[in-house]
Amino acid sequence: MDFLQILSNAGASLLAPATLAYALAALGLAVQFGFTGLLNMGVAGFMAIGAYGYAISILQFDFPWWLAALTGLAASAVFALILGIPALRLRGDYLAIVTIAAAEVVRLLFLTSAFDDVTGSADGLSGYHESFRGANPIPPGTYGFGPWTYNQTDWWVRIMGLIVLALGVVAVWRLMSSPWGRVIKGIREDEDAVRSLGKNVFSYKLQALVIGGLLMAAGGIVYAMERNVNSGVYVTSTTFFIYTALLLGGAATVFGPLVGSLIFWVLQTLLSNLLPALSQLLPFMTQIQASTLRFILTGVALMLLVIFRPQGIFGNKKELTFVK
Amino acid sequence: MSSDSAPATGATPVKTTGLHVGEAAPGVAKVDPIIVADHVRRTFGGLTAVDVDHLEIPRGAITALIGPNGAGKTTLFNLLTGFDKPDEGTWTFDGHALSGVPAYRVARMGQVRTFQLTKALGLLTVLDNMKLGATEQRGERFWSSLIAPLWRRQDAEIEERAMELLAKFKLDAKAQDFAASLSGGQRKLLEMARALMSSPQLVMLDEPMAGVNPALTESLLHHILDLKKEGMTVLFVEHDMHMVRHIADWVVVMAEGRVVAEGDPHEVMKNPAVVDAYLGAHQDVDLGVVTGRVSAAEAGVSTSGTVDEATIEAEADAELAAEEKRKGKR
């Protein structure tokens, strides 16, 4: 068992594009679920639309990378509107059902062989990196230290991810400390009360759904910038992982989703390395069983979190006192 | 207790009179109506919850809407404020047709309401609850909310007004607490104060006194009378007849979805239709006497004059069922 290697892998996951992607998606979910109270169970669908929008517009229309990224974002905004206009009239739990179904529809549309030419169906899409990597200002070489040693391409993806994440965090923080955020939080508490005070609740909910959807799509795009796009990534369990990351950090906070995603991925990497290594010591588990165990542990962690610490790490302790 | 904030409400509040034109009857025309409703009907399946032919609410006065449980008072409230849509009917507020206008626009026109089950926004602070009540906030628009200098000054003004109102309602010490930490009565006060943040013309209160202790009731009464003094119109639903008699300038009585009587509070409560449908014969007698558990002498009720003890006993059985039912629902 190589502990140093395990720790190094866990450390590297701090700056992995997957972590940044999760942080962005969790930030979007914080806007929708934590602040507005919209139970969106279709996070993976929004991410998929961002990622596919990015890849398809490069492969099909030869867009430069930045225009492709904007296309992915625009597609997610359109998806949010199409989903929101009928579904936001529903109460919380019904919205969850509609969004989970919508995300599955999206995933299956990308998976079906009917659109193989465009979506690559089960193989997914790859080979769209040229434009993004061509724009890389970093000279070729290897930089960094310890577990954070990457070549110019890996750094470019990470820097871009960090910039987008920083912009997202600042925007959400500005929004939530403004009167706009006050209305949004009011809607989470009681829609009718806010309506009786002369606020157009439907419009605010739609705005929150679009903002959250844009951040989720940005996460999907950052994820797609590193590797390939495959519908197998945007499954419902991805949505649950992002919920876990969000609740870990604190649903109604700005930095919670960020820290939650970091912790989530460090633990995931740690466990995925540690458990197979442990299985050599534990005779009742095969290596494959041991690597599945981490998903079981993730599920248990999500349950424990919701039951015992629903406000997360950063959430206001006082809030917990009043959870209904 | 809060007489300092309401100096004009010593012994008896000044009643506004001369509100109607002609005989006081259901649907009577008012001198200056703020709400005019015509043929408003709302059915739930086979049940007709509201069926109002014509109703006018006088401006600048306090109007009470009373009636037995299930009479359609809250449904009428919901219809007038846009929270529910009628099967048919038209109604206007301040001359503007309101049919089909969504609730938030109705509120923006200056007609705000409170709810029977108080809707304090629990995980917002009391101050944030108040600030949410202000209308026309620049910082509530998406793009300008991102640029703080655009709304900061207005927000400070709103905060100042919110603190003034909170002080008036004796909630200023609680400004930074979560609204969820307030007691039931304080939440009623907060809800009323929050509604006032929008400087409304018409305030509609759905059972403002339900579940509020007597001392707090008194201060709520003062606040409602203050609203009238400041030129607002008040329409409220209430079961407490003492309060209705004390502060209402006009009373509308509903039963089974229809307006059965209208008039000055003292006159309307003598109306046999109202007594039958709602009040019962012994509204001023101790409940123990009415139900036959306590004798009138024990309860210290003066039964001299029109009603003697024997009559009470005789009618007690008939009253019992209705009283118990009403009490249960409260």
Q: What pLDDT score does A1 carry?
A: 58
Residues in A closer than 8 angstroms to B105, CB to CB, are: 198
Q: What pLDDT score does B11 carry?
A: 52
More confident residue, B12 or A100: A100
Which residues of chain B form CATH 3.40.50.300? Answer: 1-120+200-279
| Rounded CA separation A166/B120 (Å) | 34
| Rounded CA separation B24/B58 (Å) | 13
Residues of A with CB under 8 A from a CB of B: 171, 174-175, 178-183, 185-186, 188-190, 192-201, 207, 252, 318-319, 321-322, 324
CATH of region B1-120+200-279, choose from 1.20.1630.10, 1.20.1070.10, 3.30.70.1290, 3.40.50.300 = 3.40.50.300
Using DSSP, state whether B56 is helix, strand or coil.
strand
Supply B16's token pair: 């506004």
Q: What pLDDT score does B106 carry?
A: 92
Residue-wise pLDDT for A167-207, tens only, equals: 999 999 999 999 999 999 999 999 999 999 999 999 999 99
- First-to-final CA distance of chain A: 47
| Rounded CA separation B212/B209 (Å) | 5
The average pLDDT across B211-236 equals 88
Query: Cα–Cα distances in Å, from B230 out to A85, B180, B202, B203?
Result: 41, 30, 11, 12
Mark out the alpha helices in B211-329 (DSSP H runs).
214-229, 241-247, 265-268, 272-274, 287-290, 296-299, 309-329
Q: CB B119 to CB A178 under 8 A?
A: no
Q: CB B103 to CB A318 under 8 A?
A: no
Q: What pLDDT score does A66 carry?
A: 95
Residues in B closer than 8 angstroms to A321, CB to CB, are: 180
Other C-beta atoms closer than 10 Å to the C-beta of A144 total 14
Task: Tell me which residue in B103, B108, B146 faces A174 most closely, judged by beta carbons.
Answer: B146
Q: Is the pLDDT of residue B299 over 70?
A: no
Q: Is the pLDDT of residue B280 over 50?
A: yes
Which amino acid is present at B184?
G
Confidence of residue B4 (pLDDT cuts 50, 70, 90): very low
Q: Is the pLDDT of residue B329 over 50?
A: no
ipTM of the complex: 0.85
Task: Tell me which residue in B107, B120, B121 faces A198 most closely, judged by beta carbons.
Answer: B107
CA A17 to chain centre: 11
Q: CB A196 to CB B107 under 8 A?
A: yes
Which amino acid is present at A58?
I
Q: What pLDDT score does B210 carry?
A: 81
Confidence of residue A321 (pLDDT cuts 50, 70, 90): low
Other C-beta atoms closer than 10 Å to the C-beta of A193 total 25
Interface with B, mutate which of A31, A187, A197 (most B CBs under 10 A): A197
Residue-wise pLDDT for A196-245, tens only, equals: 999 999 999 999 999 999 999 999 999 999 889 999 999 999 999 999 99
HSE value, Cβ hemisphere, 13 Å, CA-based, for A294 = 20
Task: Tell me which residue in A171, A197, A319 faces B194 most closely, judged by beta carbons.
Answer: A197
Residue-wise pLDDT for A32-79, tens only, equals: 999 999 999 999 999 999 999 999 999 999 999 999 999 999 999 999
Residues in B closer than 8 angstroms to A190, CB to CB, are: 119, 121
The average pLDDT across A309-322 equals 69
Which amino acid is present at B209?
M
